[in-house]
Structure 1
Amino acid sequence: MLKKLFRNYDYSLIVTTLLLTAFGVIMVYSASMVWSVMQLGQASSYIFKKQLFWCFVAIPAGIVGMLIPYKMYKALVKPITLLTILMLIFVLLFGKVSHNAQSWIVIGPIQIQPAELAKMTVIIYLASVFSNKQSFISDFKTGVLPPLVMILLIFLLITIQPDLGNGMIIAGISSVVILCSGMRTKHLMWLLGLAVTAIGALSLFLLTGQQASRFTAAYKPFTVADSHGLQLINSYIAIASGGITGKGLGQSIEKAGFLPEPHTDFIMAIVAEELGLIGVLFVILCLAYLIFKGFVIGIRCKDVFGSLLAIGISGLLAIQSIINLGAMTGLLPVTGVTLPFVSYGGTSLVMMMFTMGVLVNISSFVNMKRKKHKNKEERNVAHQAH
């Protein structure tokens, strides 16, 4: 069975993912050198070594995702969902506060962000539920409403940390999977109205003062240039000064104390400054390829669970990339969301690598089915010819 899996893996997904990860590790080193010394009082390679450690954890996680048959997640959906909810509750009670959000579980030198795990949990949960409910997906009360209650619980547990960025990603992933689940158009319209109402209520009652100020920083940064708008303004300077070919790897000026935490959610500004438009296009094209291939795998997969799982993974990659790049360019408020495979962040890298492993696993089953069908057709043609 393993030999068949290896023969049918989509190796373009593996190569692209590893290229992005390697690129990300290099850029984290470049972007964090000054920050490690000036802000943390450590060696210039301090953050780089931490990211390199997580990279060596992420690669085995990706291999595990590739080797485990994706259908096993459907059988394990209940314990996976329960464990995720317990971790989200635990982090609210005992988690570490950083950047005004209580989002991390600390185990010795290791910090884990349960919200990152929740993204994949939501995809597995919704793919499992909707694949089981296909016979009565048109019934809103029994086919649609129960899973929404569970997703709302996970969404609220993340949002009240507060972590609005990952909360929005959860909402976005859910929307993508629901849209592709076969639900009636009328029910989709109801859910759209409900989502708009929920976002409005969230803006009025749950947004903290600091989160609200991010809208001003995104759309009127020069009015708050000495505070919340500082990061975006320096991002603009980095992007503008990079040109087409950039200043050269390691030659950024903005990372020298001007752009706050340049190795995290604004790392693409450093990519633009050092490697120019060429570097930016490399990252965007790699991400676009992974997203496109994921949706193609989802469309080709005849198993509903596998199809929704692949589509959910591609949706996650697309939504998180859009939110990060939108914040970096001022199109969206800053939410602290990492750029997949490129930004600094251990839990994010491990989970993203695992999700890509799952996508590669689905692709192998799709390719096996397609080859089997093709061979069957060729035999039928040969039989008719004789």
Structure 2
Amino acid sequence: MDKQLFKKIIKSYDYPLIIAVFLLSLFGLIMVYSASMITAVVRYHTASDYFFQKQKWALILGTIAFLVTAFVPYKIYATKKVLQFIFFALPISLILVILIGYTANNATSWFKIGSFGIQPAEFAKLGLIVYLSGVFANKQKKLHHSAKDALFPIYYMLFICILIAAQPDFGTAFIIFVIASTIIVCSAISKKLLFKQILFLLFLCLLASPFVLSVWWDEIFSEERLSRIDGFLHPFEHAEDEGFQLINSYFAIANGGLKGLGLGQSIQKYGYLPEAHTDFIMAVIAEELGLFGVMFVLLLLSFIVLRGLLLARKCQDAFGSLLAIGISTMIAIQSFVNLGGLTGLIPITGVTLPFVSYGGSSLVLLMLSVGVLANISMFAKYELTYKRPSARKNFQKNHVSFH
């Protein structure tokens, strides 16, 4: 590669985005150690840095994945072979995990390899983002006039959501549904025709509901699931069971105040928050670092999401725009579901906080995704700065994804 070309490419990367991601991930690594050291010793009878070490290796693997996807041209993912591989790989992996997967917390969501676990549903997020972005970008001219070409990808997306919900993992299924819906709405599809198809799908769901309820009634309306909803609506009436975590999350947030009790000084992580290093890590951050710590995380997450959406606006390629929208939406909706759960805004779903919570599959997937985002930003900036400077004035006119 020509040295001048290489320098131009390196200069074109979005370094504020990259710095924000790694800063948040390193902060998360520190907080995983602080939140998990008591749990590791008391509940799992291991070294206090057990979860820290596993998260550290996940971050190293995630960094390698980031470097790979940051340098591989993102347009490769829109090729027919890649889209076909994703199309078959997603349902096969999700069916296999239901049949032979490892069960934890009443969900069969993992492939267990020694002490490491791989969660296919996490990688299904990015896989579906790539697949839908590729399909809708390739069919954008047809979608202006007909929504028929969008039907099969929509049904495929619903099938993937059903497979994930069957594990059962309703939180991830909901997140994937929202991400996919956002990509579909932001594509070039005719909104009038899309509305008609949505009504048709709702009609089909209504017809299928008696069958679904007859088969999965016990699962959907199980005593455990209903008690969770009751614990969400009336946590203080169920302080000893279903409302236990939420109430102690409130205590942790209240204890932290403005400045917090100090790093490592959380009281609630001493058994009061059983999932302190995963679902409720923000409660520990609030208790130890106060409002300042919470705002630090929220500002970085907001910056990453908004940077991704701005990139989608700037990118002149429909596939790149939809890909950026999907990845940004994934980070945003996952953050909302996690924070909504620990503050009592929505029921607790077991969804981790992006880049911060303990979870190897989640962290590697996120680093992969941000690597793709960095690659899109590099190509978009390179195009505007070096190849076609005149496009600066015209990129909004030629942009497709937000029409």
TM-score, normalised with respect to structure 2: 0.89
User: 3-state DSSP class of the match of 2:352?
Assistant: coil
CA contact (8 A) 1:246 1:277 kept: yes
Name the aligned partner's letter for residue 166 of structure 1.
Answer: T
Matched, 1:111 2:117: yes
Tell me the residue number matched to 1:44: 48
Most deviating of 222-231 and 315-324: 222-231
Tell me the residue number matched to 2:398: none
Q: 1:377 to 1:215 in 2, by over 3 A?
A: closer
Name the aligned partner's letter for residue 313 of structure 2.
Answer: I
CA contact (8 A) 2:31 2:281 kept: yes
CA contact (8 A) 1:37 1:43 kept: yes
Match of 1:240 among 254, 258, 273: 254
Q: 1:54-93 counterparts in 2 under 5 A? A: 54-75=58-79, 76-93=82-99
CA contact (8 A) 1:241 1:273 kept: yes
Matched, 1:226 2:240: yes
What is the number of equivalent residue pairs in this alignment?
A: 378
Tell me the residue number matched to 2:220: 207
Tell me the residue number matched to 2:357: 343
Matched, 1:29 2:33: yes
Q: Please report how far the alpha carbon of residue 182 of structure 1 lies from its aligned counterpart in structure 2 after TM superposition.
A: 2.1
Q: 1:197 to 1:28 in 2, by over 3 A?
A: farther
Task: Flag structure 1 segments of 5+ consecutive residues without an equivalent.
Answer: 379-386
User: 3-state DSSP class of the match of 2:117?
Assistant: strand
Q: 1:216 to 1:97 in 2, by over 3 A?
A: same
Matched, 1:164 2:170: yes
Q: 1:299 to 1:31 in 2, by over 3 A?
A: same
Tell me the residue number matched to 1:288: 302
Q: 1:195 to 1:269 in 2, by over 3 A?
A: farther
Tell me the residue number matched to 1:382: none
Q: Please report how far the alpha carbon of residue 139 of structure 1 lies from its aligned counterpart in structure 2 after TM superposition.
A: 5.1
Task: Flag structure 2 segments of 5+ consecutive residues without an equivalent.
Answer: 393-403
Q: 1:120 to 1:195 in 2, by over 3 A?
A: farther
Match of 1:130 among 124, 130, 136: 136
Q: How many angstroms apart in 1 are the aligned matches of 2:259 and 2:291?
A: 6
Q: 1:26 to 1:192 in 2, by over 3 A?
A: farther
Q: 1:149 to 1:376 in 2, by over 3 A?
A: closer
CA contact (8 A) 2:186 2:322 kept: yes
Name the aligned partner's letter for residue 303 of structure 1.
Answer: D
Q: How many angstroms apart in 2 are the aligned matches of 1:208 and 1:50?
A: 36
Matched, 1:317 2:331: yes
- Percent identity reads 46
Name the aligned partner's letter for residue 8 of structure 1.
Answer: S
User: 3-state DSSP class of the match of 1:43?
Assistant: coil
Matched, 1:253 2:267: yes
Match of 2:379 among 344, 365, 375: 365
CA contact (8 A) 1:219 1:331 kept: no
Q: 1:307 to 1:207 in 2, by over 3 A?
A: same
Q: Please report how far the alpha carbon of residue 179 of structure 1 lies from its aligned counterpart in structure 2 after TM superposition.
A: 1.2
Q: Please report how far the alpha carbon of residue 326 of structure 1 lies from its aligned counterpart in structure 2 after TM superposition.
A: 0.4
CA contact (8 A) 1:269 1:328 kept: yes
Q: Please report how far the alpha carbon of residue 288 of structure 1 lies from its aligned counterpart in structure 2 after TM superposition.
A: 0.3
User: 3-state DSSP class of the match of 1:332?
Assistant: coil
TM-score, normalised with respect to structure 1: 0.93
Name the aligned partner's letter for residue 118 of structure 1.
Answer: A
CA contact (8 A) 2:252 2:287 kept: yes
Two-structure CA RMSD over aligned residues (Å): 2.1
